[in-house]
């Protein structure tokens, strides 16, 4: 694939982003408006947005948390402390690295943004289920298999029809930056 084809493919994946709330498919524009409303309420109530992912998605979670905190003045948290991650993984299991800290920190009305290219990562799935139990709002971003489990766990679920990790990660980054840009535009 040459560069022009790659750019075209990115555009097609983003154009075919699908969104689903807990009951039905909704337009991407409607989903982003709902996400904006949820985020503004979290900001108003001084709640927290937790962001999680593995690998590149973990880096993306950290990047987005920093942008939301710095630019949109929303309280955010990521679980990137190596000591915390390795202690939970060693003492309990890797499946608990996000769910366990959520149990101790998440309050009703907080938000979890779960990013997983495959939508099948056991630690991400466990955290999404835990957030629901704790009364949190769950936003998911997934790709690859349209039937992935994560896609059905959120209050808002964004799905990219990408078949590779690179394409999924590129499109997730664009999706998350669009959310941040909407937040910043609404603040002005």
Strand order of the sheet with strand 156-159? 25-26, 18-21, 156-159, 137-142, 111-116, 48-52, 75-78
Q: Tell the burial category of 63 from Cβ atoms under 10 Å away from its Cβ (0-12, 13-18, 19+).
A: middle
pLDDT of residue 6: 94
The most distant pair of C-alpha atoms in the chain lies apart, rounded to whole Å, by 48
Identify the pLDDT of residue 22: 85
Which pLDDT tens digits describe the chain residue by residue (188 residues)? 899 999 999 999 999 999 999 899 999 999 999 999 999 999 999 999 999 999 999 999 999 999 999 999 999 999 999 999 999 999 999 999 999 999 999 999 999 999 999 999 999 999 999 999 999 999 999 999 999 999 999 999 999 999 999 999 999 999 999 999 999 998 76
Give 165's contacts (C-beta < 8 A, 6+ positions apart). Answer: 56, 117
Q: Write out the H or E segment, with its range, that includes residue 48.
A: strand 48-52
Domains defined for the chain, CATH in brackets: 3-187 (3.40.50.10490)
The pLDDT assigned to 153 comes to 97
Q: Region of 40 please: left (phi>0), alpha (psi -120 to 50) or beta.
A: alpha
The CA distance from 53 to 113, in Å, is 9
Residue 129 confidence (pLDDT): 98
pLDDT at 1 (0 to 100): 82
- Decide if 95 contacts 126 (C-beta within 8 A): yes
**Between the CA of residue 8 and those of 11, 102, 115, 124, what are the distances in Å?**
5, 39, 23, 30
pLDDT of residue 42: 97
pTM of the complete model beyond 0.95: yes
Burial 37-62 (b: 16+ CB within 10 A, else e): ebbbebbeeebbbbbbbbebbbbbbb
pLDDT score of 122 = 98
């Amino acid at each position: 694939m040459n560069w022009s084809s790659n750019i075209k493919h990115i555009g097609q994946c983003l154009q075919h982003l699908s969104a689903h709330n807990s009951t039905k498919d909704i337009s991407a524009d409607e989903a982003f408006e709902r996400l904006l409303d949820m985020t503004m309420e979290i900001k108003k109530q001084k709640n927290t947005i937790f962001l999680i992912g593995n690998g590149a998605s973990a880096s993306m979670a950290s990047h987005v948390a920093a942008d939301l905190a710095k630019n949109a003045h929303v309280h955010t948290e990521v679980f990137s402390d190596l000591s915390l991650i390795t202690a939970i993984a060693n003492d309990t299991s890797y499946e608990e690295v996000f769910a366990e800290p959520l149990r101790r920190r998440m309050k009703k009305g907080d938000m979890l943004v779960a990013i997983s290219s495959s939508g099948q990562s056991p630690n991400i799935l466990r955290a999404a289920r835990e957030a629901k139990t704790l009364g949190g709002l769950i936003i998911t971003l997934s790709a690859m298999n349209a039937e992935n489990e994560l896609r059905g766990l959120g209050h808002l679920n964004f799905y990219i029809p990408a078949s590779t990790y690179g394409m999924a990660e590129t499109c997730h980054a664009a999706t998350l930056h669009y959310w941040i840009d909407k937040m910043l535009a609404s603040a002005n």
